[in-house]
Structures are given as C-alpha cells and as structure tokens.
Amino acid sequence: MSEILKTVNISKKFNSFETALKEVSLTFKSGMFHVILGQSGSGKSTLINIMSSLLKPTSGKIFYGEEEITNLSKKERLILRHEKFSNIFQEYFLLSELTVKENIELGKSAQDKNISYEEIMQHLDIVHLDKRFPYELSGGQRQRAAIARAIIKNPDVLFCDEATGALDEENSKKIVSYLKEINKKYGTTIIFSTHNIKISKMADRIITMKDGAVISDIQNRTPTLVQDIDWGI
Ligand SMILES: Nc1ncnc2c1ncn2[C@@H]1O[C@H](COP(=O)(O)OP(=O)(O)OP(=O)(O)O)[C@@H](O)[C@H]1O
C-alpha cells in the first residue's frame, strides 16, 4: 500500500500557553481504516484539521502523496479539499436554508466519480428525509445527512471527527459498518477519531494520542467485526 498522507514533526500552538500538538510524525497508508483514539482535549480534532488542510501547523510539514501541502495558498487548499478530501465534523455544519437533498448534493465532485445519491440515502436510512430542512431533523439524522454529504464525492481521504458522537449504539454500528464498506468498495482512506476504545477495535490501525502527542501506534491485524463490538455507549 502506498503512503497517502504524512505529517513530519507537526506542532500547533493556539497561543503562548496552549500547545495542542507536539511534534506529531505519522504516515498514513492508502486504503486503510485508521482510528485516532484519545480523550477529550488530546489533540484529535487539531490533527485532523491540519491534515485536511483546514488549519496550518505552527511548525512541521504535511505531505499528500509526494506533494508538500503545508503552505498551499487558500485557493490551492480549496481545490485539494474539493477534489480529494472530505470531512465529517462533530458539529455537522448543514446549511439551514437548504433541504437535506440540497445539502448532500453540495458535497458532489465536479469530476465524474460521485457515489449514487440513492445508494447513500438507503444505507444511511434517510431516504424519507430528503425534502426536510436541517431544523426538522433529530441530532442523529443531521449527523447522517452530514455523513452523506461527505461521502457522495467518493473522496480519496475521508476525515471523520467523532462521526458517531450523536448516535445511539444501533445507529453508530450501522454508520461504522457503512464506512467500512465504503473503505473496502472504493479503497477510501479513512481517518476516524474517537474517544471510545471499544469502537477503535474495528480499525486496521489504532493511533493513540495524549496531551497532543502520539503515545502508541498499533497495526490491528485482526479488526473486530463491527456487529461484534460491545460499544458500551
Ligand atoms: N481554536 C483554539 N484556540 C485555543 N485552543 C484550542 C483551539 N482549538 C483547540 N484548542 C485546544 O487544543 C487542545 C486540543 O484540542 P482538540 O479539539 O484538538 O482535542 P480533541 O482530542 O479533538 O478533543 P474532543 O474529543 O473534545 O473534540 C485542547 O486543549 C483545546 O482546548
């Protein structure tokens, strides 16, 4: 498997007394399902935002394949994000004046590689919601719509920041099973953050963070089947 993303000694300070990331060096392989595991405040979102080109590091470098992307211009970052990356955010970020269908279609790529809208809606069990507006949805339904918007363009790298945070166990399992299916079917590289050690066991690789640093990095040669996990939520 080839290397798709690499961070070299990434650090991030938001101000003079808060260091969110400390010299993080990681290499991500194409087509793998990676989990970033850590307690609240350990630096997971900061790392995901830097790797997905939403935030610049204070020091260090980031590579996408062979290309260094640390200091891309705003326009270059927009193009990279539009063509290659998708994010699922903890806060959903659906546009309130658009319907579910319109929100999801915003995520489509201009290239001819999109996943079928109907397939995604069925898998996420939101077919019946496509004419509704975000304020007419539950938290879990909003999260599933945000997941659909992120997946539809069939990104090379899908960044999921606590993507099942608003869901109960049954729906979390459905979502993670579907993400695993996307990972296998399309070869999508997935980087999925969670604070839940039980959820992490379904991944191919588990990177654990504490206080802004990587404290363990394990290749999980026998990922647990999603349906066999006792999520304990
Ligand atoms: N914009 C910001 N300004 C100042 N400090 C920040 C900012 N964003 C994050 N931090 C700090 O950086 C540290 C890491 O935060 P981060 O959100 O990356 O952690 P996390 O592991 O994703 O947490 P959670 O699971 O709660 O989302 C925390 O101490 C947080 O307070």
CB-based contacts of 222-227 (< 8 A; 24+ apart in sequence): 223/33, 226/173, 226/176, 226/177, 226/180, 226/202, 227/173, 227/177
User: Which amino acid residue places its CA nearest to atom 17 of ligand 1?
Assistant: 45
pLDDT surpasses 90 at 95 = yes
Instruction: With residue 182 as reference, give the H or E element that holds it.
Output: helix 169-186
Token couple for 93: 């970020």
For 230, phi then psi, to 5°, come to: -90, 100
User: Which amino acid residue places its CA nearest to atom 11 of ligand 1?
Assistant: 20
In CATH terms, the superfamily for domain 31-58+83-228 is P-loop containing nucleotide triphosphate hydrolases (3.40.50.300)
**CA of 209 relative to ligand 1 center, distance in Å:** 12
**CA of 102 relative to ligand 1 center, distance in Å:** 31
At 164, the amino acid letter reads T
- The residues, ordered by sequence, that sit 6+ positions from 105 with a Cβ below 8 Å of its Cβ are 117, 152
**CA of 18 relative to ligand 1 center, distance in Å:** 9
Task: Give pLDDT, residue 173.
Answer: 85
> DSSP E strands: which ranges in the chain?
3-15, 18-29, 33-37, 59-64, 67-68, 85-88, 157-161, 189-194, 205-210, 213-219
Task: Give pLDDT, residue 107.
Answer: 93
Arithmetic mean of pLDDT, 13-25:
90
Residues with CB under 6 A from ligand 1: 14, 18, 20, 38, 40-46, 195
Q: For a pocket test of ligand 1, which of 18, 50, 55 has the largest count of ligand atoms closer than 8 A to its C-beta?
A: 18
| Rounded Cα–Cα distance for residues 53 and 93 (Å) | 17
Task: Give pLDDT, residue 47.
Answer: 97
User: pLDDT tens across 25-66, in order?
Assistant: 999 999 999 999 999 999 999 999 999 999 999 999 999 999
Task: Give pLDDT, residue 139.
Answer: 85
User: Which amino acid residue places its CA nearest to atom 18 of ligand 1?
Assistant: 43
| Rounded Cα–Cα distance for residues 26 and 18 (Å) | 22
Mean pLDDT for all residues in the chain: 92
Residue pointed to by tokens 């201009």: 110
- The residues, ordered by sequence, that sit 6+ positions from 159 with a Cβ below 8 Å of its Cβ are 48, 51, 52, 85, 86, 87, 88, 191
**CA of 178 relative to ligand 1 center, distance in Å:** 28
| Rounded Cα–Cα distance for residues 160 and 166 (Å) | 13
Mind spelling out the 3-state secondary structure of 126-174?
CHHHCCCCHHHCCHHHHHHHHHHHHHCCCCCEEEEECCCCCCCHHHHHH
Q: Among the atoms of ligand 1, which is closest to the Cα of residue 12?
A: 12
Per-residue confidence at 185, pLDDT binned at 50, 70, 90?
Answer: very high
**CA of 43 relative to ligand 1 center, distance in Å:** 6
Residue spans per domain, the chain:
31-58+83-228
**CA of 159 relative to ligand 1 center, distance in Å:** 16
Q: For a pocket test of ligand 1, which of 13, 14, 24 has the largest count of ligand atoms closer than 8 A to its C-beta?
A: 14
pLDDT surpasses 90 at 174 = no
User: pLDDT tens across 111-161, in order?
Assistant: 889 999 999 999 899 999 999 999 999 888 998 999 999 999 999 999 999
Q: Among the atoms of ligand 1, which is closest to the Cα of residue 42?
A: 21
pLDDT surpasses 70 at 233 = no
**CA of 40 relative to ligand 1 center, distance in Å:** 8
Strand order in the sheet with 157-161: 85-88, 157-161, 189-194, 33-37, 205-210, 213-219
Arithmetic mean of pLDDT, 191-195:
95
Per-residue confidence at 169, pLDDT binned at 50, 70, 90?
Answer: confident
- Intra-chain end-to-end CA distance of the chain, in Å: 34
Task: Give pLDDT, residue 170.
Answer: 82
Do β-strands 189-194 and 157-161 pair in parallel, antiparallel, or remain unpaired?
A: parallel
Per-residue confidence at 12, pLDDT binned at 50, 70, 90?
Answer: very high
